Amino acid sequence: MHVRKLNQMIKEQDTGSVVAMTMEEGLAHIFVISQAKTLLKAKIEKSISKSRGGMSAQKSALSKNKFYDHIINALIKNFAAGEGQTANSRIGCIVIGSPGFTRENFFNYLRD
């Protein structure tokens, strides 16, 4: 029974999985969830300065953009299509959970 479960876990590395991402301002965790296991693939931390108006608002926006770039690079690094695969065969879907408007801001950044 254990050998069968181990073989199933090995096969799951080649099949599509669900990617879950939890994020808040300056911190994101990227997980791969399959039938038998959940793996932390990346932890992204970036200090984001507070917006106090004027130039600091631009600095805050720049910090957020760099944070979002780090997340995108982690997704590409961990889930880019390999030889003979498409990205869709490795990732079934991505679920993003966050407080407030963090998810919406990241999603808008992705679209731009």
Q: Give residue-wise pLDDT tens across range 2-43.
A: 567 666 666 655 555 789 999 998 999 999 887 778 889 999
How confident is the model over 59-68, as a mean pLDDT?
A: 89
Asked whether residue 1 is domain-assigned, the answer is no
Domain with 23 in it: 17-111
Q: Give residue-wise pLDDT tens across range 66-108.
A: 999 999 999 888 887 665 555 444 677 889 999 988 899 998 9
> Amino acid identity, residue 47?
S
Q: Is the model's pTM score more than 0.85?
A: no
Report how far residue 15's alpha carbon sits from residue 62's, in angstroms, rounded to the nearest whole number: 37
How many distinct structural domains can be found in the chain? 1
Q: What is the pLDDT of residue 57?
A: 75
Asked whether residue 35 is domain-assigned, the answer is yes
Q: Is the pLDDT of residue 52 over 80?
A: no
Where residue 94 sits, what CATH number does that domain have?
3.30.420.60
Parallel/antiparallel/unpaired status of strands 27-33 and 17-24:
antiparallel
